[in-house]
Amino acid sequence: MRRPKFVESAGKQSRAVSEAEAEAEEHFKTYVWYPQRAGRVDLVIERAQQHGVAHDLVIRQEIAALISFQRTSEWTALRARAARALGRPPGPEGSLGKLAASQVARMAHRVHTLISGANGMLTTGDHPHDATIAEVLVSTPAQSIAGGTDEIQKSIIGEKILGLARESDPSLDLPYREVARRSQ
């Protein structure tokens, strides 16, 4: 979805255009990226040190796995961007990147929970990023839904990249009114 462009006529904007512009601006705020959706991987080492758990072997392994996975997904995104700049058609990187972003968010959720414990859900505390971490923990499931659910991305990869048969759907040949509804 693209942001609409509003053109001024004779140097003035009518009230209707001004209101439409304000409404569009409010609508598009939901599409602004904020780093909590990505799990704030950049904060895990600092927070582990602040909470005195940076030397815990389990937490160190989880942090290493998280940062490694995040960096490899960034490299995949860079390769995809370079391929598009060279004029190559898009490959599986979009769907793979979406799945990787969901996985990074879940891994970051796990690491932040290991570091902060139950206090991670509190929006106030001794550390300046406590509210941010609480938002990360609450918003993690959104990453799996936004931009197409993980299940849809897996279907795209299975069908278009791996060449697997499409999932069977017995309702494809039925008229819409005969398709069973979940609420019934």
Q: Which domains does the chain have, with CATH numbers?
A: 35-159 (1.20.140.10)
Place of tokens 């990074």: 104
Q: What is the DSSP string of 125-137?
A: SSSTTHHHHHHHH
Q: What is the pLDDT of residues 126-171, one digit of tens each?
A: 777 778 888 888 888 888 887 778 888 899 899 988 999 988 877 7
Q: How far apart are CA 76 and CA 94, in angstroms?
A: 9
Q: What is the pLDDT of residues 71-81, one digit of tens each?
A: 999 998 898 89
User: What is residue 62's predicted lDDT score, i.e. its pLDDT?
Assistant: 97
Q: How far apart are CA 113 and CA 136, in angstroms?
A: 10
Please enumerate in sequence order all residues whose Cβ is within 8 A of that of 88, keeping only pairs 6 or more positions apart, or say none: none
Give me the helix-helix angle, 130-145 and 93-116, nearest 10°: 150
* Contact between residue 92 and residue 163 where contact means Cβ atoms under 8 Å apart: no
Q: What is the pLDDT of residues 6-51, one digit of tens each?
A: 666 666 677 887 788 888 777 776 656 556 566 789 889 999 999 9
